[in-house]
């Protein structure tokens, strides 16, 4: 199971909300609008929007992250993205780096649909097809070498535009844009920190006593591909970014 440690997240994953500029541009939230932040995490992005006069409600499935968001004075609620419990009260919804954790993708899409007023919009930025492919491959190989099923251990859903676009359309959304965007992402520290922060679920089948060895193995395998001349880890992120509308 993936566990979120809010303090570790703030230390090692600050780049996640920092790189959300294109998503915020797509969302184009206006002061006074009521906006749902699906997968708000520790609320850094939620707070940024709230500071512009947007009335933001954040939801997240992690109690620790919700507590961290509330500590920032935000309206953050503990709620699984698969089970959004809102009626049509939002002008817009957005989700940054969260939808790829939701393995039954039609359920968050359905929940957002129900949460939006007619004419409301849904902007998303998530891992798309090919996202962190090198890391997925190296983790998969390390697990397979130990006899674990790497496919079922993989906690992430990285769809392409055709797949996710079709799901949005099937629910009734009008899709204004959807595209894969390669975004090589420099990490603030070593890959081990990234693995500790994000890959707990992938490593869950490995006995705890062996996880350090696996992480070292993965790091050694990826170093030649992902460390640049300056010694910075640059991971092969690919975003799937979209904007869709609930018709009036
Ligand atoms: C992402 O934002 O693409 C991502 C983050 C953590 C794990 C997997 C993907």
Whole-number mean pLDDT of the chain?
Answer: 96
Nearest one of 12, 15, 19 to 189, comparing CA atoms? 12
- If you take atom 2 of ligand 1, which residue's CA is the nearest one? 97
Nearest one of 89, 92, 91, 82 to 39, comparing CA atoms? 82
Nearest atom within ligand 1 for CA of residue 100? 9
- If you take atom 9 of ligand 1, which residue's CA is the nearest one? 127
Task: Give the per-residue pLDDT at 8.
Answer: 83
Task: Give the per-residue pLDDT at 110.
Answer: 98
Instruction: State in Å: Cα 32 to ligand 1 middle.
Output: 31
Alpha carbon distance 201, 198 (integer Å): 8
Tens digit of pLDDT for each residue in 27-79?
Answer: 999 999 999 999 999 999 999 999 999 999 999 999 999 999 999 999 999 99
Nearest one of 153, 218, 166 to 192, comparing CA atoms? 218
Tens digit of pLDDT for each residue in 120-136?
Answer: 999 999 999 999 999 99
CA dihedral 190, 196, 201, 207 (to 10 degrees): 110
Query: Which H or E run includes 180?
Result: strand 174-182
Nearest one of 83, 80, 86 to 34, comparing CA atoms? 86
Find out whether the beta carbon of 237 lies less than 6 Å from any atom of ligand 1: yes
- If you take atom 7 of ligand 1, which residue's CA is the nearest one? 198
Find out whether the beta carbon of 132 lies less than 6 Å from any atom of ligand 1: yes
Instruction: State in Å: Cα 97 to ligand 1 middle.
Output: 6
Both tokens of 245, joined, read 């509308």
Chain centre to alpha carbon of residue 197: 13
Alpha carbon distance 104, 93 (integer Å): 18
Both tokens of 225, joined, read 């591909």
Instruction: State in Å: Cα 118 to ligand 1 middle.
Output: 31
Under-50 pLDDT residues of the chain: none
Find out whether the beta carbon of 136 lies less than 6 Å from any atom of ligand 1: no
Task: Give the per-residue pLDDT at 14.
Answer: 84
Mutate to test the pocket of ligand 1, among 97, 159, 236 (most ligand atoms within 8 A of CB): 97
Question: How many distinct helices (H) and strands (E) make up the chain?
Answer: 12, 9
Alpha carbon distance 4, 18 (integer Å): 18
Alpha carbon distance 85, 69 (integer Å): 19
Task: Give the per-residue pLDDT at 17.
Answer: 86
What are the chain's domains?
A: 6-245 (3.40.50.150)
Strands 238-245, 75-78: pairing kind: unpaired
Find out whether the beta carbon of 9 lies less than 6 Å from any atom of ligand 1: no
Alpha carbon distance 59, 66 (integer Å): 7
């Amino acid at each position: 199971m993936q566990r979120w440690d809010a303090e570790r997240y703030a230390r090692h994953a600050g780049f996640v909300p920092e790189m959300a500029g294109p998503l915020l541009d797509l969302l184009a939230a206006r002061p006074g609008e009521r906006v749902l932040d699906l997968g708000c995490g520790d609320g850094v992005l939620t707070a940024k929007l709230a500071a512009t006069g947007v009335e933001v409600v954040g939801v997240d499935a992690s109690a620790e992250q919700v507590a961290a968001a509330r500590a920032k004075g935000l309206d953050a609620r503990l709620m699984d993205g698969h089970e959004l419990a809102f009626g049509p009260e939002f002008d817009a919804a957005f989700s940054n780096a969260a939808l790829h954790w939701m393995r039954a993708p039609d359920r968050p899409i359905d929940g957002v649909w129900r949460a939006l007023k007619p004419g409301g919009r849904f902007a998303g930025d998530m891992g798309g097809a090919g996202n962190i492919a090198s890391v997925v491959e190296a983790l998969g190989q390390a697990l397979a070498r130990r006899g674990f099923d790497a496919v079922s251990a993989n906690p992430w859903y990285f769809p392409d535009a055709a797949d996710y676009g079709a799901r949005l359309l099937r629910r009734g959304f009008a899709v204004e844009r959807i595209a894969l965007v390669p975004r090589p992402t420099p990490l603030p520290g070593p890959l081990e920190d990234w693995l500790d922060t994000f890959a707990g679920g992938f490593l869950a089948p490995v006995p705890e006593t062996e996880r350090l060895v696996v992480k070292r193995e993965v790091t050694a395998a990826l170093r030649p591909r992902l460390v640049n001349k300056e010694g910075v880890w640059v991971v092969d992120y690919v975003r799937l970014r979209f904007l869709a509308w609930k018709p009036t």
